[in-house]
Amino acid sequence: MQFPLKAGPPAAPAYLTPCFRKDASLTTERLNLRRRELGLNLPPAPSRLDSPSLVSSVHGVINRLLFTLPSDLFDDEERRKRGDFGTDAAATVKNLLGQISREAALLIMTHEVSVARLQNWLAELNLTAQTAIVPVRNEIEFTIWAEDAYVVCDDQTDGEKFFVEPESFPRGDDPLVADQFLARAPVTRMSSINVNLLFQGGNTLIGDEFWLIGMDDALKSLERGFVKPNPGETDLAAVQRVYKANLDHNRSLISVRSNLPVPIHDDRKFEMGGQIWKEFFHQSNQLGTVQPIFHIDMFLTLAGRDKDGKPQILVGDPLLASRVTGQPLPDHAQRMPEIFDDIASQFAKLGFKVIRNPLPLTYDDNEKDRERKWYYATANNALVEITADRKQVWLPTYGHQKWPELAPADQLNKDIWEKELGFTAHLLGNFHPFASLGGAAHCIKKYLARG
């Protein structure tokens, strides 16, 4: 089947590093060298994390949120105003900030060169009083993906709060983000600790009595010897024991994986308009992956519990999205729906109430380079707040500009949250610039505290 050209400039601005990009050379030694190059001190010896408890992904008032907004985001806004660039990335972030609860304190890291422009944003949005800006040197190459380089734990023994960082996180200078906030301890009131495991924030979701981890990270920890089964212990049991000991003592741990083979990243050539193009699909899926998408927050959303106390989870469904939008799944994606179905079935067997929501597979065209990139327009990558007296969700949307056919999926996602789950749903702006690079709303923030 011939899919039509999506006319116009690429959705993603050039400065946005793909969320799934890995820098294989970024070892601990290289990271410390990078700290010295930038004149940064090594992190201080950590306080003791006696009884870790992960900050929930959904439960409690959102009290503190962290964002990392590079200077190019604001440059992008200026280019868009001049008509030089067609992206909505800056407008989308600004819209998200404007819709955040006024109860939330914000910590925003940005480059020194963009502090004044960030201050203008905050003044326009009436957020100045609740925001602390953390300026960093312009040469620090951090990304907008604030979620991934660490998890946040409360110590239930003494109330301390920690950035908990993995053994390594290979993406630019993102492993230095916690350093920057810790250098301003009066602002963050946090400590930092490294643990000898592999994990990424976007590959974890934390409920009330349980938490989820994408099994790709756990398998890498097994391969590298960070998790060692005891005699007679299965690999899965060892994973649960070691990750619980280091990241959350009290919640039960559920690993997320497909029991079916997952297609890996691929590309192929095709003809369009008399020219040879190349298309890319299954972004970031490497040989041996057991997840349909590289981070579980791209296709799973926790939604609290129903009236009977049953945990609820939304599992993205590309086939449902295809039916709703009228857009057929391309031939390279025909095996994917059954993989998402398999994961949904596993949660049902664990006693979850499983809700399937549309997860459209769409694409963007780069006419200059004659390249087509396929990606999931995910509404699962959302912000959720559940308290005793209110339930809210902030949903990315995609029925914009070149993609009007995705508007019915946006509407159905809103209807599911409001009519089926009883939430107030806030619709965010155009998240194509982010989804095309592997992330959305949940990826560009970090929950630091919930009440």
Per-residue tens of pLDDT for the chain, all 451 residues: 568 777 554 444 544 677 776 665 556 677 777 777 777 765 555 568 999 999 999 999 999 999 999 998 988 776 666 554 456 789 999 999 999 988 899 999 999 999 999 999 999 999 999 999 999 999 898 999 999 999 999 999 999 999 999 998 988 889 988 888 887 656 677 888 999 999 999 999 999 999 999 999 999 999 999 999 999 999 999 999 999 999 999 999 999 999 999 999 999 999 999 999 999 999 889 889 999 999 999 999 999 999 999 999 999 999 999 999 999 999 999 999 999 999 999 999 999 999 999 999 999 998 999 999 999 999 999 999 999 999 999 999 999 989 999 999 999 999 999 999 999 999 999 999 999 999 999 999 999 999 9
Per-residue buried b or exposed e for 182-215, using 16+ beta carbons within 10 Å of the residue's own CB: beeeeebebbbbbbebbbbbbbbbbbeebbbbbb
167: Cβ contacts below 8 Å, ≥ 6 apart: 28, 194, 195, 196, 197, 198, 224, 226
How far is Cα 152 from Cα 323, in angstroms, rounded to an integer? Answer: 39
What type of residue is 171?
A: R
> Phi, psi (5° rounding) for residue 422?
75, 25
> Phi, psi (5° rounding) for residue 272?
-145, 125
The Cβ-side half-sphere exposure at 361, using a 13 Å CA radius, reads: 27
DSSP label of 420 = I
Model pTM? Answer: 0.93
Distances (CA, A) of 414 to 236, 275, 314, 434: 36, 40, 12, 20
Per-residue buried b or exposed e for 269-285, using 16+ beta carbons within 10 Å of the residue's own CB: eeeeeeeebebebbbbb
What type of residue is 214?
A: G
**Residue (of 451, 386, 398) closest to 424 by Cα position:** 386
293: Cβ contacts below 8 Å, ≥ 6 apart: 284, 285, 299, 376
- Give residue 194's Cα distance to chain centre: 21
pLDDT of residue 12: 47
**Residue (of 381, 357, 374) closest to 444 by Cα position:** 381
pLDDT of residue 18: 77
How far is Cα 212 from Cα 253, in angstroms, rounded to an integer? Answer: 6
Q: Give the N- to C-terminal CA distance of the chain in Å, as an integer.
A: 51
pLDDT of residue 47: 67
Residue 34 burial by Cβ neighbours in a 10 Å radius (0-12, 13-18, 19+): middle
**Strand ranges of the sheet holding 191-194, from the earlier edge strand across to the other edge:** 52-54, 151-155, 161-165, 191-194
| Residue 441 near residue 383 (C-beta atoms within 8 A) | yes
What type of residue is 14?
A: A
- Long-range contacts of range 366-370, CB-CB < 8 Å, 24 or more positions apart? 366/10, 367/5, 367/7, 370/272, 370/275, 370/276, 370/277, 370/278
pLDDT of residue 81: 64
Q: Take residue 144 and report the two structure tokens written for it.
A: 């907008």
How far is Cα 381 from Cα 439, in angstroms, rounded to an integer? Answer: 7
Nearest-5° Cα angle at 237, 234 to 241: 140
